[in-house]
Structure 1
Amino acid sequence: MERASQIKKLSDKGKIWDMVVVGGGATGLGVAVDAATRGMSVACLEKTDFAKCTSSRSTKLVHGGVRYLQKGDVMLVLEALRERGRMKANAPHLVKDQAFVISNYRYWDNFLYFCGLTFYDLLSFGFGYGRSKYISAKKVMKYIPTSVEKGLKGGVVYHDGQFDDSRMAINLAQTCVENGGTVVNEATVTGILHNEAGKVAGVKFVDNTTGEEYTVKARSVVNAAGCFVDDIMHMDSPEHRKMVTPSQGVHIVLDMKFLQSDYAIMVPKTSDGRVLFAVPWHDKVVVGTTDIVRPTPEEEPRPLKEEIDFILGTAGLYMNPAPTYKDILSVFAGQRPLAAPKKEGKNTKEISRSHK
């Protein structure tokens, strides 16, 4: 999949493409694969590199949205579990089973989370990885030797999926090209073309490596720019109302000594009502994530001190020894696009994850 040959395909000024997709993250590449496998001529343009932003900065999990089950959003959980099953079937080289332990310090929580996760298993309808089960405090210590033992009343084991997010994106790009699609990175869309009737008819983009500008005519343009969706919308309509609110998620990476297990930790309720994961990843432990509204989207978001403090503080309630700043090996931050609320001031966990 040589970039030069992909760019050459886009230099044909007489060609009218069926679709141009703006954005080479998980969504844009997924749309491009869908179009290419249906026989459409499709070009996918990414301004930096594939999976550069949101799509490489996840918790590396394919989960059905356990936290949304707490909120009673069963349809969203059902949809996510179906997607998890399809990813497992379509990309078995990238998606695998990951067992989690929820450590409980109240007897009631053992019952509560076991019932909730059994319902989660039932919603999987054959797409599941394994059944949830109650385990004793002794077993919790065996599965996660670094658990805080004082006051431990038992735990629940459940299963979800783990995957390599950026490799999945690259595989989607390869699949698109194998099916006749065209994908180009380092291609910044600079304008939207319109026909005589004022309808969208393609895009202009600049090849960042040469500075050369190209015009690509198309019957349809899909805006899959993630957090930067509004930038593309404003090229089409300057008075366009804001559609997306960026929400920042931060993860810290720790040494394996803080987990010492193939099992992951799931904290079902943090001080801000979210969930926190500590997941084994390439002989290290990824711990996160946060959820903070940011005023504007950034290509290189920086973790805030309050986010790192929150992760360390919450992890310290469940890990012994408690991790400190000097134990952090690296930090990565990403921003996810959420549908902007009509009223300002909404907390990110109250903003809808559904389609709008």
Structure 2
Amino acid sequence: MTRGDSYTVFFDQLLQKNRPFAAWSLPGETAPEILLGEPSDILFLEDFDRLNGQEGFVFAPFRIDENSPLILMKPGVYLKDEKAIKAFDIEALPSLECKTPASRDFYIIAQENYLKDIDETVRVIQSTKLSKVIVSRIIPAKRGNESIGELYMQLRRQTPNAMVYLVNLPGAGLWMGATPEVLLQSKGKTLETVSLAGTQSRRDDSDYRWHTKEIEEQAFVSRYMLDVFYKFNIHPYTTQGPETLESGRVAHLKTSFNFSAKKVEDKLGDFVAQLHPTPAVCGLPKSKAHRFISTIEKHDRRYYSGYLGPWRMNDCIRLFVNLRCMEITADNYMLYSGGGITARSVPAEEWDETTKKATTLLSAIEAVQTNDFNKETHSATGLFTAGQRN
């Protein structure tokens, strides 16, 4: 068994048994971390600030509703490396009942209608106090017989500088993603949050040129971060950037903000509730953008543009915004992708940007499906040749 195969088998076995789990690997990490739980370990919280005093793995939606609860999986079995999963007796884990999820309709918008929506969004921005709003869409891809465990490991190989995750949680379902955007993470006695916005295709020569629209889009997010700092009396703080961050097939503009963890140690849940959703996934002013999204988008975002990660596990926080993600159904991969719309936006370019952002996941799906096809073809050819020899 080659390196990585044991993870593939392990994840597939967990899914076959319908076990609640979260697997994630942080940027630059060589192995996934895995948290296994029982149904009794799953908490459904009523508001984002209810994370105060809690610990575990959090999976938060864009907005909380009956179809998309805020989920916290309390600390259970924690496995850090390949040696640990090989030593774990997965056969002893009982299978859990797999309830057939309620049928959901995924609204797939046609390009013509999406362009009309962006035209309308630009018109509203130009005629109101709305400065920026994120408009997203769902991009479907057909699911075959490929291993979900193998797909996750492929995505890890392709995006080593992202937080790559796979979760199977009651109330949410099966999700996978590779997100580059930090919402909040601890670094010893300091905390870091990140302003990330602006997108272009990744360049082999790393010679990036950023345009006014992209620079303004990223500046909106940075200004919002500073407004939140002011509300929580956070000073001093340090900044780094804007600089280019490469992730998968795309690159973004990024600014990092670092400050003392003592400033919010007794109100971490409140601080995260104020940060989320950031202008990078919602818009500015946030309340107006949030309302506009609910009218312009015809689909349910669910956990796209929410956040996820270990929350105060071993005194560590690693929360990432849930970008470059997909909801996995029995027959399809439903990829979520959005773009920041400003007064300078060109509708056709925004369609292209959402397509571009989806390539991170689509390329991993294609690689695994192509590999499976080649295996099947090789196997069939081998059998046919053997028959000829006989």
Q: TM-score, normalised by structure 1?
A: 0.22
Relative contact order (C-alpha < 8 Å, sep 6+): which is higher? 2
More helix per residue:
2
